[in-house]
Amino acid sequence: MPMLTPVPLDSIRTARERIAGTVVRTPLLRLNVSDTPAQIFLKLENLQPIGSFKLRGAGNLILQTDRAQLTQGVWTASAGNMAQGVAWCARHLGLQCTVVVPETAPATKRAAIERLGAQIVRVSFAQWMEVFQTRRYEGMEGLFVHAFSDPAVMAGNGTIGLEILEDLPDVDAVVIPYGGGGLSCGIASALRALKPGVQVYAAEVETAAPLAASWTAGEPVEVPYTPSFVDGIGAPRVFPEMWALARQLLDGSLVASLPEVAAAIGLLAERNRVIAEGAGATPVAAALAGRAGQGKVVCVVSGGNIDAGKLVQILHDEVP
């Protein structure tokens, strides 16, 4: 995979027009908590039809692909959210969809994938990670939709940045969950083009924070990976092409602990009546801890697809 460059602003604006009939223009709301280190705002991507931002990137890639190239359907590798984005688009276009899913994927997300009509192929976590590098899996045919390392996917994600600046032009910092890097680098591409001075941070969880470790080392490094209820982000390593782009676009990675993320999920539910999954609450956890600085801080609540049982535990002040 060649090294990636920031997504051109024109591509992001074109993506916005292309997916306008597919995605929701999500609201930007103030966190209903007064005693915080910053003025915290929530970009509520959990309100998309599939419960996460992934519909933006998946929709942009699939909708710009000639129908003649889609005769064999579409496929992706995903723990749940990109799978739902691809499956949702495939269902609406009458396409076959297959998803390579890791054995660690939560039941809620697997059920949603199947509900949208996609076929699931379950593999080990190591096999799943390999697909992101090779972009191949035995028996898979049709258009492969990479969950993060694709210019069209990142352009779709970048439309979130346009909306943030329209709703809060004087934003000081934006905090974005970091899994593969496609969301943070897509949004950052829009922000750097339109408001270069804004601080743009990735957010990771302590059990799997390769970007923060790589930032400290000055090069991509591998870290211990421990699966947790924060299943939408986290990996053992940063992909090389995404590392170069993240270093160019981001101001660093803010790491939250599992108890901090659980507390943020509970707070969002209690104060704003917002249901966030672990990945979606990680930026809020980092901002609440003061790691994103002061001023006006936007936290991208990337999704709300959390297992009901885990949510119940969190609402009872437990860490799943």
Q: Tens digits of per-residue pLDDT, 245-290?
A: 999 999 999 999 999 999 999 999 999 999 999 999 999 999 999 9
Residue 320, domain member (yes or no): no
- Percentage with pLDDT > 70 across the chain: 99
Select from 120, 145, 170 the last residue of a domain.
145
Give the torsion sign (CA, 222, 129, 56, 310): negative
Higher pLDDT, 275 or 140: 275
* 155 in Cβ contact with 14 (< 8 Å): yes
Residue 70 predicted with pLDDT over 70: yes
pTM for the full predicted model: 0.95
What domain range includes position 124?
Answer: 55-145
Select from 145, 168, 197 the last residue of a domain.
145
Residue 30 predicted with pLDDT over 80: yes
Q: Do 155 and 134 share a domain, yes or no? A: no
Name the band, by pLDDT with cuts 50, 70 and 90, for residue 1: low
* 184 in Cβ contact with 190 (< 8 Å): no
CATH number at 260 reads 3.40.50.1100
